[in-house]
């Protein structure tokens, strides 16, 4: 199925990263079922997918959620991979910009889970110039994602 999706040249988007912080995941609070469901989005599982479809454009949403540091490794290793920054604080967005650049970051809010102002403010705090802001808020989606659909 992944190979067939790759042939369409359409971007593939998926939630990514675990939705619970590691200290909560490793505690007795969540049930085994909840832990198993949360781990279906683990970034390590996406490595197999990205290796199988190297020419596909893949958007890993939420910046890897609570597995944030791993998303930077994936972005460096797979050049057709993008992430959105919903859920991510400004320090994490800045780290992606410093290590990968602003050209593969898409604006996202995860609304209504988070107020849109959180994501907007996070980008504004993380960026140092207008080009980075334009890339994240608009140009990356227009140039790199929307152009594949049109």
State the virtual CA torsion across 34, 36, 40, 44 in degrees, nearest 10.
Answer: 130
The model's confidence at residue 148, banded by pLDDT at 50, 70 and 90, is: low
pTM confidence score: 0.81
CA distances from 112 to 47, 85, 105, 117, 120 (A): 29, 15, 20, 11, 14
**Chain segment 75-109, per-residue pLDDT in tens:** 999 999 999 988 889 999 999 999 999 999 999 88
Contacts of 22 (CB under 8 A, 6+ apart): 66
- Residue 11 pLDDT greater than 90, yes or no: no
**Chain segment 21-80, per-residue pLDDT in tens:** 555 556 666 566 655 566 567 788 888 889 989 889 999 988 877 778 889 999 999 999
Q: Report angle CA 75, 19, 54 to the nearest 5 degrees.
A: 30
**Secondary structure of residue 86 in the 3-state scheme:** coil
88 DSSP β-pair partners? none
The model's confidence at residue 130, banded by pLDDT at 50, 70 and 90, is: very high
Query: What string of DSSP letters covers 17-69?
Result: S-SS-HHHHTSSSS-HHHHHHHHTT-HHHHHHHHHH-TTS-EEEEGGGGGGHH
């Amino acid at each position: 199925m992944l190979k067939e999706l790759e042939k369409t040249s359409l971007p593939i988007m998926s939630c990514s990263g675990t939705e619970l912080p590691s200290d909560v995941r490793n505690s007795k609070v969540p049930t085994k079922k909840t832990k198993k469901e949360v781990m279906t989005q683990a970034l390590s599982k996406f490595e197999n997918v990205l290796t199988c479809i190297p020419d596909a454009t893949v958007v890993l949403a939420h910046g890897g959620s609570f597995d944030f540091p791993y998303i930077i490794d994936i972005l460096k290793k797979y050049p057709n991979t993008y992430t959105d920054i919903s859920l991510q604080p400004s320090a994490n967005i800045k780290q992606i910009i410093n290590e990968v650049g602003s050209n593969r970051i898409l604006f996202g809010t995860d609304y209504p889970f988070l107020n849109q102002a959180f994501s907007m403010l996070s980008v504004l705090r993380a960026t140092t110039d207008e080009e980075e802001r334009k890339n994240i808020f608009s140009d990356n989606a227009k140039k790199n994602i929307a152009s594949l659909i049109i």
